Amino acid sequence: LEPVTDKYVPVKPGAGVRGEPRNGFALEQVKVSPQKVLVRGPQSRVARLQDVTTEPVDISGRTETVVRNVRVVTNDRFVRSIDVREVNVTAVITERRERKTISDVPVTFSRLKPDLSPAVNVIGSIEVDAPVRFLETISGRDLELVADCGDVAGPGEYRVAVLPPELPFEGTVLGYTPGTVTVRFERKGEE
């Protein structure tokens, strides 16, 4: 008969996750609490045991973090956890984000006197960091860059600032071009 012994072993966090989150979302991290459990069994078997796992936590189709209490699994019928039967598994699910440069963004002119118009159309681009679900469907036609024409007094060539763009979706503007534009303004009807 072999002597019985106890040993603390780590709980392997990723082994107990099954499935994939919904498209556009990702499993960022799996956390387990407690991170170690005390096991007991025959000395030779306990010595060979490097870690334990958990019952699976299903994250199929999920869009947010999943928290479950699940049983500890030793994968050796002669060794068992003696201090806790269940551990808390947290599968952190986040929305996937990407960087993208959106081109063909029209530049519009704000505070321009009603009798003036730009001689040419100006096109720019915006670099964003945003959830993939927005980036899959967005195009330059869905956005705009705005040039402030408050200082344009009359016909002629002016250098005007392009204002930082606002996004119609959740995201961060990383950059945009142009930052300024030089445009010739003409009286309407004199083009």
For Cα atoms 164, 166, 171, give the angle at the middle one, nearest 5 degrees.
110
Range of the domain at 149: 97-187
* pLDDT for the residue numbered 191: 53
- Judge if 86 and 132 occupy the same domain: no
- Judge if 124 and 166 occupy the same domain: yes
CB 108 within 8 A of CB 118: no
* pLDDT for the residue numbered 14: 67
Q: How many domains does the chain have?
A: 2
- Judge if 63 and 115 occupy the same domain: no
For the chain (length 191 residues), average pLDDT per consecutive 10?
A: 94 84 94 96 96 94 96 92 93 96 97 93 96 92 96 95 94 97 89 53
- Judge if 179 and 104 occupy the same domain: yes
Of the candidates 122, 124, 121, the one whose C-alpha atom is nearest the C-alpha of residue 104 is 124
Instruction: Tell me the two tokens of residue 64.
Output: 């947010």
- Judge if 172 and 107 occupy the same domain: yes
* pLDDT for the residue numbered 16: 73
- Judge if 139 and 183 occupy the same domain: yes
Whichever domain contains 161, its CATH number is 2.170.120.30
CB 80 within 8 A of CB 41: yes
Strand partners, 159: 182
Q: How far apart are CA 96 and CA 130, in angstroms?
A: 8
Of the candidates 138, 62, 69, the one whose C-alpha atom is nearest the C-alpha of residue 94 is 62
- Judge if 139 and 69 occupy the same domain: no
Burial class (CB in 10 A: 0-12, 13-18, 19+), 38: middle
Domain termination site, one of 67, 95, 123? 95
Whichever domain contains 54, its CATH number is 2.170.120.40
